[in-house]
Amino acid sequence: MPSPIQSPIQSPIQSIDGFIDTYINYLVVEKGLADATIESYSNDLKKYAAFLNHFKIKQIADSDTTVILKYLIVLRDEGLSARSRARHLVTLRGFYKFLIQEKILKKDPTSIVDLPKIGMKLPDVLSIEEIKSIINAPDILKPKGLRDAAMFELLYAAGLRVSELINVKLQDINLEVGFVRTFGKGSKERIVPIGSHARDGIRDYLANARPVLMKLHTSKFLFVAHAGKPMTRQGFWKLLKKYTLLAGITKEITPHSFRHSFASHLLEGGADLRAVQMMLGHVDISTTQIYTHVARDHLKRLHEQYHPRG
């Protein structure tokens, strides 16, 4: 018997399809979400509509909590991971919240349904030596090499996201006091201290590389590419891959690896969890707590190495 979700919709559910179209339009026009996000939500809701059609549920008001639970069970039986099922439930929560907001429904059937247990995935963390080898990989005798080394220094020193790094403006950096101002998710501002290595690298870049890269152009951004154009996410990704290979590191590394390493190395050194939370810009400390698992592994190794009964 074919899966109730995978089977084609024989007769369109006009009212439910209409609500989905209205919601997707709302996400595009009012929320301005990225195309990839819109496509993901749309695909999830089409799958849900197919499920409702299979079980002859014609009115959105008839999709109660039991229906939601049954849908999640079908997703599980199809082999979807807990993470994928959680994403589907998040999509449905947004959809039903919209329907309540528009006074189409009075009750949210997803409100008492818990997210599937995803489990905690430990972040990929670089060793201090690996960080050093990547920072030292650029040729600092060349303007672009000075820029690249300074970018890596700041990325690691402040635990920035790559989107935050490329959007740092000249006015956001204070080399005398030693801090960078950045704007994270939701445009939330935070001030993060930076150490002497990052400050020296940025000073060197500003004095000897940025003027050459600017070529008489002007830019408000700290890090620039050719002819004063701002660095892009894709451009930084390419640079990181290049220098990772030059450093002789074979494991997969992303810009976020520097952020993970920043947090883990601070905790391994004894930093307070809430202080790390503030520097990372996490709203919920539970997001930061994932790094404590890495720190605990480090402490366990130290105990085994140095304790007389380890």
**pTM (2 decimals)?**
0.57
Beta-bridge partners for 92 = none
One domain, residues 90 and 223: no
**Of the ranges 12-16, 102-106, 271-275, which one carries the lowest mean pLDDT score?**
12-16
Phi, psi of 228 (to 5 degrees): 80, 5
pLDDT of residue 285: 55
One domain, residues 63 and 136: no
Tell me, yes or no, whether 110 lies in a domain.
Answer: no
One domain, residues 139 and 95: no
Catalytic site residue from 87, 88, 147, 161: 161
Is 41 an active-site residue? no
One domain, residues 94 and 185: no
Tell me, yes or no, whether 292 lies in a domain.
Answer: yes
CB-CB contact of 65 with 109 (8 Å) = yes
One domain, residues 185 and 272: yes
One domain, residues 137 and 278: yes
Is 256 an active-site residue? yes
One domain, residues 226 and 156: yes
Owning domain of residue 283: 128-306
Catalytic site residue from 54, 87, 147, 282: 282
Q: Mind listing the pLDDT tens digit for each residue in 167-180?
A: 999 999 999 989 99
Catalytic site residue from 23, 41, 243, 291: 291
Tell me, yes or no, whether 283 lies in a domain.
Answer: yes
Q: What percent of the chain has pLDDT over 90?
A: 40
Tell me, yes or no, whether 52 lies in a domain.
Answer: yes
Domain-ending residue, one of 82, 101, 120: 101
Tell me, yes or no, whether 1 lies in a domain.
Answer: no
Asked if pLDDT for residue 10 goes beyond 50, the answer is: no
Q: Mind listing the pLDDT tens digit for each residue in 48-83?
A: 999 999 988 888 988 888 889 889 888 988 988 888
Beta-bridge partners for 174 = 179
Q: CA–CA separation, 274 vs 296, rounded Å? A: 16
Asked if pLDDT for residue 255 goes beyond 80, the answer is: yes
One domain, residues 143 and 243: yes
One domain, residues 281 and 143: yes
Catalytic site residue from 256, 274, 300, 301: 256
Tell me, yes or no, whether 122 lies in a domain.
Answer: no
CB-CB contact of 43 with 50 (8 Å) = no
The domain total for the chain is: 2
Beta-bridge partners for 191 = 181
Is 291 an active-site residue? yes
Catalytic site residue from 185, 188, 203, 296: 185
pLDDT of residue 11: 35
Is 259 an active-site residue? yes
Q: Mind listing the pLDDT tens digit for each residue in 136-167?
A: 999 999 999 999 999 999 999 998 989 999 99
pLDDT of residue 51: 93
Burial of 15-45, coded b for 16+ CB within 10 Å and e otherwise, reads ebbebbeebbeebeeeeeeeeeebeebbebb
One domain, residues 185 and 282: yes
One domain, residues 197 and 273: yes
Catalytic site residue from 147, 259, 260, 265: 259
Domain-ending residue, one of 64, 85, 101: 101
CB-CB contact of 148 with 202 (8 Å) = no
What is each CA distance from 173 to 75, 210, 241, 274, in whole angstroms? Answer: 48, 15, 26, 23
Give me the CATH number covering residue 40.
1.10.150
Give me the CATH number covering residue 141.
1.10.443.10
One domain, residues 81 and 223: no
Residue 290: pLDDT band (50, 70, 90) is low
Tell me, yes or no, whether 112 lies in a domain.
Answer: no
Phi, psi of 69 (to 5 degrees): -65, -40
Q: Mind listing the pLDDT tens digit for each residue in 121-137?
A: 555 678 899 999 999 99
Identify which of 128, 164, 119, 163 has the alpha carbon closest to the alpha carbon of residue 290: 119
Helix (H, G, I), strand (E, B) or coil at 111: coil
